[in-house]
């Protein structure tokens, strides 16, 4: 696939940049996509879509500070993954044929599974109602398991600023989940 992306850019500088980004971040981007989509093929599609966006906007992305590049790529792959998730959810059609039904383990708790999925959907909807800054800091901390120090480094802000933003984001999320307003 790298050769496809390289064929889409013009200058040697752009090709070098795209190649470096692909070699350094492609696996990380795949892991992020897989954690969102839980499907290898969809995750590969998300990475492909992300690299198409990167190639189309290579001049702008080359201007991003190197310390912020990884965070920027995480946001691109997250958005591509969410788009695929939404499309998959919208296009989902379920056939109710006995032979197509997955086998369910004897200890499978349907009620617990439904409750968990419902709670996950509530959190996902609440995150979508939040502003990008707060949503991204929550995702970086709790979804991608980044430390406050690494978030500070990625966003090029102080540790204390990350801590304060995270506290505000958690408060906002709590208000949204309990039916309050998401605006600060």
Q: Do domains 1-91 and 112-179 have the same CATH topology?
A: no
- DSSP conformation letters of 54-85: HHHTHHHHHTS-HHHHHHHHHHHHHHHHHHHH
Residue 129 vs residue 27, higher pLDDT: 27
3-class SS of residue 106: coil
Q: What is the mean pLDDT of residues 132-152?
A: 83
Answer whether 146's CB lies under 8 Å from 154's CB. yes
What pTM did the predictor assign?
0.53
Residue ranges of domains in the chain: 1-91, 112-179
Residue-level pLDDT at 150: 82
Instruction: Give 41-82 pLDDT, tens digit per residue.
Output: 999 999 999 999 999 999 988 988 887 888 889 999 999 998
pLDDT surpassing 70 at residue 92: no
CATH of domain 1-91: 1.10.1740.10
Residue 180 vs residue 152, higher pLDDT: 152
pLDDT surpassing 70 at residue 110: no
Closest to 136 measured CA to CA, from 62, 50, 73, 88: 73
78 Cβ contact list (under 8 Å, min separation 6): 32, 36, 139
Is CATH 1.10.10.10 the right assignment for the domain spanning 112-179?
Answer: yes
């Amino acid at each position: 696939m790298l050769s496809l992306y390289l064929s889409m850019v013009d200058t040697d500088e752009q090709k070098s940049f795209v190649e470096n980004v692909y070699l350094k971040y492609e696996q990380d981007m795949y892991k992020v996509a897989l954690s969102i989509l839980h499907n290898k093929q969809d995750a590969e599609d998300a990475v492909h879509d992300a690299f198409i966006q990167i190639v189309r906007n290579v001049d702008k992305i080359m201007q991003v500070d190197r310390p912020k590049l990884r965070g920027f790529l995480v946001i691109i792959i997250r958005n591509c993954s969410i788009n695929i998730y939404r499309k998959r959810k919208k296009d989902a059609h379920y056939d109710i044929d006995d032979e197509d039904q997955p086998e369910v383990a004897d200890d499978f708790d349907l009620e617990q599974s439904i409750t968990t999925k419902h709670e996950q959907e509530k959190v996902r909807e609440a995150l979508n109602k939040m502003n990008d800054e707060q949503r991204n800091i929550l995702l970086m901390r709790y979804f991608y398991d980044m430390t406050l120090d690494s978030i500070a480094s990625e966003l090029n802000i102080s540790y204390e600023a990350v801590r304060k933003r995270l506290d505000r984001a958690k408060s906002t999320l709590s208000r949204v989940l309990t039916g309050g307003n998401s605006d600060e």
